[in-house]
Amino acid sequence: MKTVVVRKNRRAAFLNGMHDGIPIALGYFAVSFSLGIAARNVGLRPMEGFLASALCNASAGEYALFTLIGARAAYWELALVTLITNARYFLMSCSLSQKMSPDMPFYHRLLIGNYVTDEFFGISVSRPGPLKPAYYYGAVAIAAPAWALGTALGIRLGLLLGPRVVSALSVALYGMFLAIIIPPAKKQRAIACCVLAGFFCSWLFGALPLLAAMSAGTRTILLTVGLSAAAALLFPRKETEEEGSADEA
């Protein structure tokens, strides 16, 4: 009987993940479609673009990768620049690990770690209770193929659509981020303050000449560490029992 209940919980978590992954998939398709145009400009074929996006789940990282391929950079340069560009995911992974049950098997951690992106991180940390692998896999199952397929189609068909059409398709991704941050910001003043501070500091970092010269990934890391430290000092959180079930998929 317990096994049946666990399976039903896993199935429900997986379907919830797929539901929350739909807007991510729409946004991913639009962004990767435009990314496919950049890949086409450096001579990549649709299958090569598909594999690149299937193995690298990062828009900034892939754009840097395609740029270096076009410049005929060495392999070590490709690896180093990709590592630096995607360094912010180290921070997200550390934060996401705090949402995982101590009993979560290593293979779940390994698989989830391969798909840590801004969007998956956002929907995962906003859910109450420990992170269920089935939920994460559900979101990845619908969004990851859209990312890879969008790149391939962008290489094949991207030049047929105008830049305004491609840009308009990415509105779903920004709408998803608003849906993530607005509800908790309404409930907790600390979160609202952090969100507003994040908007202001992000604008400030892009406006000041010295800070604007940094890469987007470096600015994101500095903002994340600085704002997180400030929030921990100003709004310390007491230890409470996590809500929800710790059943694993």
Domain borders along the chain are 2-180, 188-237
Is the full-model pTM beyond 0.75? no
Along the 249 residues of the chain, how does pLDDT read in single tens digits?
A: 667 667 888 889 999 999 999 989 988 888 888 788 888 888 889 999 999 899 888 877 787 788 788 878 788 877 877 787 787 788 888 888 888 888 889 999 999 988 898 889 888 888 888 889 999 999 999 999 999 999 999 888 866 766 666 666 556 556 656 766 777 778 888 888 888 888 898 888 888 887 777 766 567 667 777 887 888 788 876 655 444 444 444
8 Å CB contact between 60 and 83: no
Give the DSSP letter string of 108-167. HHHHHHTT--HHHHHHHHTSSSSPPHHHHHHHHHHHHHHHHHHHHHHHHHGGGS-HHHHH
